[in-house]
Structure 1
Amino acid sequence: MFFDSWYDMLRVAVVTVCAYAALIVVVRLSGKRTLAKMNAFDLVVTVALGSTLATILLNRSVSLAEGILGLALLVVLQFVNAKTAVHFRGFRRLIKAEPTLLLCDGRMLTDEMARQRVTESEVRQAVRSQGIGALEDVTAVVLETDGSFSVLSRSQTGSGSSLQDIRRPLQEQPGR
C-alpha cells in the first residue's frame, strides 16, 4: 500500500518528466490564448488537461503515447474552439458569456446583479479597489466574461466606446 516496487517508482518518474515536457511543447505550440484568462469553458478544458496529465502519470493502463495524444487533442480542440469563436458570432455566443452591466451612472442594477449572483458588497469592493470613494463617480461596473469586474470612472469614460458591446437592461437604454 505504501510501496509496491522500485519499477513503479521509476515508471512514474520517467513518465512524469516525458509527459510534462510534452505538455509544455503542446501548450507552447497552441499559442498564448490557450490558457489565457479563463471563462467557464476554458476552466473546464484546463481541469481536463490536469486530469489527463494525472492519469498519464499514475495509471499504468494508459501509455505515455496515448496520454500525449489525449493532451494534444484537448489543446487542438481548444485552439479550434477559439478560432471558430473569433470567426462566428453565433458560436462565440454559445460558448462564451457576454459582459454584464452591474452599475450604470452610479446606480446599482439589482436585477442584473441578482441574475449574475453578484452582491452589492462585491460591486462596492470592485469600486474601492480602483481607488474610487463614491458610486456617483462611477459610470459603469461590468462583470466581464472571465468573472472579473471592470470599473469605469466618470473621469475615464470619454466617449464610452468601450461599453459598446455590453447589453444594457431596457430601463438603462437611451430614450427610455
Structure 2
Amino acid sequence: MNTSLSVNTLLGLGLEAKQLTFLQCSVRGVIVFAATLVMVRLSSKRSLAEKTAFDAALIVIIASVLARAINGSAPFFPTLGVGFVLVLLHRLLSLAAYYSHTLGIVVKGAPAVLVQNGRLQHKNMLWNHISEHDLEEDMRLEAAIEDVSKIKVARVERSGDISFIKAD
C-alpha cells in the first residue's frame, strides 16, 4: 500500500471541502490541534493573554487560518505552514519591539494618562473612548476608590486595562 496515497485518503487531500467525510475532518482537526499546541509553545505566554490588540489579532487570524485547514476550504499543509509563519512573525515583531520603543508603540500601542493629580484628562479619555462612568467603575473595582481626587495617576495601559496610583 502506498503511504502517500493513505495519507491523502485519510486527510482528504485534493478533495473539495464538500467532499470531505466526518473522519477526514476529524483527523484534520486532531492534526491542527497538535500543530496549534506546538504554535502555542513557540509563541509567548503573553500573546495568549490577549494583552494588546497586536496579540488579539494573532489569535483571531490564527484561528481563522487553521479553521480553513480543518474544513478543507484551503490546502491543508500550506495552511498549517501559514499558521507557523504568523506565530514566527509575531515573535519577531515582539522581539523587535523589545529593542525599539518606537516600534513597540506602533505595534502594541502606548499608555495614556486619564487622571493626573486628581484631575480628569478629558482629551485622553475621549481619544481612548473611556467615559467618566467607565473610569469610576474601574476605580471602584480595581483601586477601591470612589473619589477621583484621591488618584495621583490613572493610565489606560497598552492592554486596555486601567492602572491606578493613589495619591498620598
Q: In which range does the TM-score fall when normalised by the shorter chain?
A: 0.7 to 0.9
Q: TM-score, normalised by structure 1?
A: 0.78
1:50 aligned residue (34, 56, 63): 63
Cα 1:42–1:34 change in 2 (3 A) is: closer
Q: Which amino acid aligns with 1:9?
A: F
1:84 aligned residue (96, 119, 129): 96
Question: Is this contact kept in 2: 1:142–1:151, CA < 8 A?
Answer: yes
**Structure 1: where are the runs of 5+ without partners?**
156-176
2:33 corresponds in structure 1 to 20
What secondary structure is seen at the aligned counterpart in 2 of 1:82? helix
1:164 corresponds in structure 2 to none
Q: Which digits, 9 at most, give the CA deviation of each residue in 1:5-47, with x for residues without a partner?
A: 7x61001100001100111012112332332342122211111
* Cα separation, 2, equivalents of 1:16 and 1:88: 38
What secondary structure is seen at the aligned counterpart in 2 of 1:102? strand
Identity rate, percent: 25
**Structure 2: where are the runs of 5+ without partners?**
1-17
* Cα separation, 1, equivalents of 2:107 and 2:43: 19
Cα 1:13–1:43 change in 2 (3 A) is: same
RMSD over aligned Cα atoms: 1.7
2:129 aligned residue (90, 93, 117): 117
Q: Which amino acid aligns with 1:123?
A: L
Q: TM-score, normalised by structure 2?
A: 0.82
The number of aligned residues is 150
Question: Is this contact kept in 1: 2:29–2:70, CA < 8 A?
Answer: yes
Q: Which digits, 9 at most, give the CA deviation of each residue in 1:132-173, with x for residues without a partner?
A: 132121111110111111111124xxxxxxxxxxxxxxxxxx
* Cα separation, 2, equivalents of 1:46 and 1:61: 18
Q: Which runs of 4+ in 1 moved over 3 A?
A: none
* Cα separation, 2, equivalents of 1:154 and 1:146: 23
CA shift for structure 1 position 107? 1.3
